Amino acid sequence: EPEVTQTPSHQVTQMGQEVILRCVPISNHLYFYWYRQILGQKVEFLVSFYNNEISEKSEIFDDQFSVERPDGSNFTLKIRSTKLEDSAMYFCASRPGTGAYEQYFGPGTRLTVT
Amino acid sequence: QKEVEQDPGPLSVPEGAIVSLNCTYSNSAFQYFMWYRQYSRKGPELLMYTYSSGNKEDGRFTAQVDKSSKYISLFIRDSQPSDSATYLCAMLPYGQNFVFGPGTRLSVLP
């Protein structure tokens, strides 16, 4: 069964460093998402991406964040200068297309900023 | 008032029990409803989705939506210890993005 994959599973970085989180969405899906979950809190929407551009972003997704689909399979989230409060699980999700709204999540990347 | 509310639990039930998990919401624009299961430190796993009021059944799971009351439920029949997880409801209005509930932690005791 197709699934969303994410790498790395755990990333430790120092405050101020740049990190790139990688995702491979399900191959025939058209919409891609990043979410964040701080430990013990709810899943929060960061950004949605369709047709090679951001379609919506939350107030969390400030200028320190960017997303890219560099080729036909990968979808990345970059945090330019990490802060302690960026420590969280980051989930990538994808959904098939227009008329199908269910999203399929990857296993997540645990980001620890020290 | 929060957009989506869920009882955080924990909810403990004996193996074999019927479990009822619920979410209420305030935004009448929500059109699409999903239930996810999340094991500790794992990604949310899609269990059920429904786009209309009424019931939808899949194996041991039944999703129920009552748009007039702004209330959705997930029923689990013959619950198993492997069902122990956090259950998240998620919903979205047409053309916008998911809003998740905070999740209900379920523990099924052998």
For every residue of B19-65, DSSP letters joined together read EEEEEEE--TTEEEEEEEEE-TTS--EEEEEESSSEEEEETTEEEEE
Checking phi first, is residue B41 left (phi over 0); if not, alpha (psi -120 to 50) or beta?
left
- Interface probe for B, chosen from A33, A102, A110 (most Cβ of B below 10 Å), is A102
A20 DSSP β-pair partners? A78
Q: Which chain B residues are Cβ-neighbours of A105 within 8 angstroms?
A: 36, 43-46
**pLDDT value at B58 more than 90:** yes
C-alpha B8/C-alpha A14 separation (Å) is 33
pLDDT at B1 (0 to 100): 59
Distance from CA of B17 to the nearest CA of A (A): 27
B99 DSSP β-pair partners? B91
Give me B52's structure tokens. Answer: 């209309």
Look over chain A and give the mean of its residue pLDDT values, rounded to a whole number. Answer: 94
pLDDT at A101 (0 to 100): 85
Label residue B3 by pLDDT band (50, 70, 90): confident
Higher pLDDT pick, A97 / A21: A21
Subunit contact B32:A101, Cβ cutoff 8 A: yes
Nearest of B47, B48, B86, B91 to residue B67 by alpha carbon: B91
User: What is the phi/psi pair of residue B13, to 5°?
Assistant: -135, 155
Q: Residue A72: CB partners within 8 Å, gap ≥ 6? A: none
Mean pLDDT of A15-37: 96
Up-side HSE of residue B5: CA atoms within 13 Å toward CB?
9
Subunit contact B46:A103, Cβ cutoff 8 A: yes
C-alpha B83/C-alpha B106 separation (Å) is 8
Give the number of A-B residue pairs with CB atoms closer than 8 Å: 51
pLDDT at B86 (0 to 100): 96
pLDDT at A99 (0 to 100): 78
State the CB neighbour count (10 A cutoff) for residue B52. Answer: 10
C-alpha A85/C-alpha A38 separation (Å) is 9
**pLDDT value at B10 more than 70:** yes
Nearest of B65, B44, B22 to residue A103 by alpha carbon: B44
Look over chain B and give the mean of its residue pLDDT values, rounded to a whole number. Answer: 92
**pLDDT value at B79 more than 70:** yes
